[in-house]
Amino acid sequence: MRYVRYRTERGDHYGILNDATIHQISSEPWKDFEETGETVPLEHADILAPTLPSKILCVGLNYRDHIEEMGHDMPTSPVIFTKPPSAVLHPQGMIELPHDSSRVDYEGELAIVIGAEASKVSEQDACDYIQGFTCANDVTARDKQAPDGQWTIAKGYDTFCPFGPVITDEVDPDNLDITVTVNGIVKQSSNTRNLIFTPSYLVSFLSQVMTLIPGDLILTGTSSGVGPLKAGDVVTVTIEGIGSLSNGVR
């Protein structure tokens, strides 16, 4: 299914997207739910970030070509950092350029949405704890990252985690084309088969340390081609079978 969180004049809701119509459901998609019978045309709904995560966990250096691009050694275990929930930005929301940064980059990524409480799960069972997948942009103040290695600072500004618009369980996360454009020009183009650590491995790995809660988000890493954004740009992350996430910059 393809799940969305959306807003109408009646409030915020979750729904199932079927073609161009949203069918409202009674709760979050990871709980027992039923369709309420209410529908709304997609064009009449304000699409929100599809979860309200308790935590946003991110993986750095997870594509071989990006590691070469950044001049790092190949990792032997996942490089993990976090973004605060306050960094969440809705689809079509505006990425805010910080006044104290001179270089802000886009990083298009596949994101995992957790669907069941996960603690110390095996890689083989990890898929049972995944609600689905969505598009994400790990926006990064690059000049804040390099001097002292403070990745969380560089990546934690407000609006630096756009994701959405849908969560889907209808894709194979290990073989998805992923593209990033800026103002319609292709900047990143890869496939998730180039990930070093797969989504199942990452869920298992992280669950050995911390309990993953339904709605939590895991960004799986970015490919080569990262580059700067400027005010007035529109950056779009497109993932095969999921859709496109577009955000303006100001």
Q: Are 250 and 96 in contact (CB under 8 A)?
A: yes
What would the pLDDT profile of 52-93 be if each residue is shown by its tens digit? 999 999 998 899 878 888 788 888 999 999 999 999 999 999
CA angle 135, 178, 75 (to 5 degrees): 90
Domain ranges of the chain: 2-48, 56-249
Q: Tokens for 204? A: 């298992």
**Peptide bond preceding 78: is omega within 30 degrees of 0, i.e. cis?**
no
CATH architecture observed for domain 2-48: Roll (2.30)
**Angstrom distance (rounded) from CA 34 to CA 26:** 6
What would the pLDDT profile of 156-181 be if each residue is shown by its tens digit? 999 999 999 999 999 999 999 999 99
Residue 149 CB contacts under 8 Å (≥ 6 apart), including other chains: none
**Angstrom distance (rounded) from CA 8 to CA 40:** 9
Class level of CATH domain 56-249:
alpha beta
pTM: 0.96
Q: What number is the average pLDDT over the span 131-149?
A: 91
β-pairing, 56-60 vs 217-219, is parallel
3 band by pLDDT with thresholds 50, 70 and 90: very high
pLDDT value of residue 65: 79
